[in-house]
Amino acid sequence: MGTMTLDSLEAEALKLTEDDRAALARALVASLDAPADAGAVDAWDDELLRRLADIEAGVATFVDRDELRAGLQARISRT
């Protein structure tokens, strides 16, 4: 493919099927993301397992959605 302007590339991309445009969009967005941090994935897995264990053991504290929203709005108002 020769040199294309952004406008001509966009025009060509818009000729693709919806599924192909979606696949292209995913690939383009993924190209902007930083490399995955394997340590973060493992840490989140550990955290999820810990939270599930707390729920199963009956020691987890649950927060009602309205209570959560009110708390978040209070924090936002203070800033």
Answer yes or no: are the C-beta atoms of 14 and 21 closer than 8 Å. yes
* Mean pLDDT score, 9-21: 96
Say whether pLDDT at 63 is over 80.
yes
Say whether pLDDT at 21 is over 90.
yes
> What is the pLDDT at residue 29?
92
Show Cβ contacts of residue 4 under 8 Å, excluding neighbours closer than 6 positions: 12
Q: What is the pLDDT of residues 30-48, one digit of tens each?
A: 888 877 787 988 999 999 9
